Amino acid sequence: MAKTVAKEAFPARPRSVSTRKDAARAIVALLEKLYPDAKCALSHQNAFELLCATVLSAQTTDARVNSVTPELFRKYPDALHMAEANRSDLEQILRPLGFFRAKAKSLQELSMSLVEKYDGEVPHDLESLVSLRGVGRKTANVVLGNAFGVPGITVDTHVGRLSRRWGWTRSMDPVVTEKDIAVLLPPEIWTDTCHRIIDHGRQVCHSRKPACEECALTQVCPSYSLFMS
């Protein structure tokens, strides 16, 4: 049975960037085989829907977000409709997500920001996206990579955790982690690789007790000995 180790335990990390790149790409190659069809788990038809769904996904599951967004976007299909929504009606739709009052407020403030700054259209560059109310780098990179095809590294809890276990970074800071990953992997695979890391984190490399016995990455994972010793 796998041993549970402290979340701050780090594997030995090669000093050479080229060595770290080779190790990272070995992991990426296996992830490609394991999760060839990995994609964004948030249902969406356009950039506005994805932006809203990503904001709503904080502190809840993607599946739960997907359960409320069909009605949400049927009633409020764009930024102008969302900005002008009755707050109580919006809260009722979002109630299953928890923190529904705060999330209703966030969606309306975000939509107002879109209307005021960009005529209701979602911008397709990082600087503009993070200028919107309630949008950080993680949300911006989700939208860039999945709605606009612009390479982005989405450092959620899974990407951060696995990147540390694989020696890609030693930082708990998502911005630093993003920069460390960017050094190791070419931009054209950033978006798909993040989807695959998220799938692996959800299915195998769990937070408290990773399922190392079931993992196909044991031969290339520098943390394997930490969990199995």
Stated pTM of the model: 0.89
- Clarify whether residues 116 and 61 are in a common domain: yes
Residues 6+ apart with CB under 8 A from 21: 183, 184, 185
**CATH code: domain of residue 215:** 1.10.1670.10
- Clarify whether residues 221 and 178 are in a common domain: yes
Just list the catalytic residues: 138, 156
Give the chain's domain count. 2
- pLDDT at residue 198, rounded to an integer: 97
Range of the domain at 72: 47-147
- pLDDT at residue 6, rounded to an integer: 46
- Clarify whether residues 139 and 157 are in a common domain: no
- Clarify whether residues 22 and 95 are in a common domain: no
- pLDDT at residue 178, rounded to an integer: 97
Distance CA(112)–CA(119), nearest Å, equals 10
Domain final position from 102, 124, 147: 147
**CATH code: domain of residue 57:** 1.10.340.30
Q: Which residues of the chain have pLDDT under 70?
A: 1-9, 14, 229
- pLDDT at residue 111, rounded to an integer: 97
- pLDDT at residue 33, rounded to an integer: 97
The predicted-structure confidence for 72-124, as pLDDT tens digits, reads as follows: 999 999 999 999 999 999 999 999 998 999 999 999 999 999 999 999 999 99
- Clarify whether residues 97 and 160 are in a common domain: no
Residues 6+ apart with CB under 8 A from 133: 106, 109, 110, 112, 113
